[in-house]
Amino acid sequence: MKGKFIVIEGLEGAGKSSAITTCQAFFAEKHIDLVCTREPGGTPVAEAIRDVVKHNWSENLTPETELLLMYAARIQLVEHTIKPALAKGQWVLGDRHDLSTQAYQGGGRQIPESVIGPIQQVALGSFKPDFTLYLDVEPEVGLQRAKGRGELDRIELESLSFFERTRARYLALAQADSSIIVVDAMREIADVQANILHYLNSIVAATE
């Protein structure tokens, strides 16, 4: 069976961690060799960049700096972990990927596509996930969930309007790309898990 690259996306509090646990259990049951990654991060260099991105600095981190850091971490992960795993026939499950940049830096930070596009092309070329499961949650609900987890990082401390713009961009991108599957994350967790399993079964069945 040829390996696939599947990504879990969503706002803070959308339930990505639970979704990833559900996916891991599914692939284990299917005896499918799975490599799990997260962004930003996933390699020693990328994890160091993650610390810079997440830290609440006294110095303002400009949107453009944040954008470049995201792609610097991403290219390290893709070249050193994701592509080698796929070449071996392994499946890769990503906690975020490029769709996050399109939504957070493009939508939330309002960086134009004319700026993001050329950087994306240099970093990734035509490489993209085979499938993305986007967990859709209303920002106000997601932020309340995130606050319940503990201290918020620099990005989680952004305004509600920032996350509303981010969600709007996520939904617009999902509507334009059939490889992005929208999962209603406002439902009960059991319903969300059942929905995820339904899509995973369909994805695996299509590769057999």
| Distance between CA atoms of residues 71 and 89, nearest Å | 25
For the chain, how many structural domains are there in total?
A: 1
Q: Look up tokens 């009960």; give the residue.
A: 188
What are 66-117's pLDDT values in tens digits?
999 999 999 999 999 999 999 999 999 999 999 999 999 999 999 999 999 9
* Bridge partners (DSSP) listed for residue 135: 10, 183
Q: What is the pLDDT of residue 151?
A: 77
Which residue range is the domain that position 138 belongs to?
5-207
Neighbouring CB atoms inside 10 A of 12's CB total 21
Q: Of 104, 112, 109, nearest to 134 (Cα)? A: 104
How much is the average pLDDT of 127-139?
A: 98
Task: Please check the confidence at residue 2 and state whether its pLDDT lies above 90.
Answer: no
What are 161-186's pLDDT values in tens digits?
999 999 999 999 999 999 999 999 99
What are 142-152's pLDDT values in tens digits?
999 988 887 78
**CATH number, position 134:** 3.40.50.300
What are 11-42's pLDDT values in tens digits?
999 999 999 999 999 999 999 999 999 999 99
Q: What is the pLDDT of residue 1?
A: 67
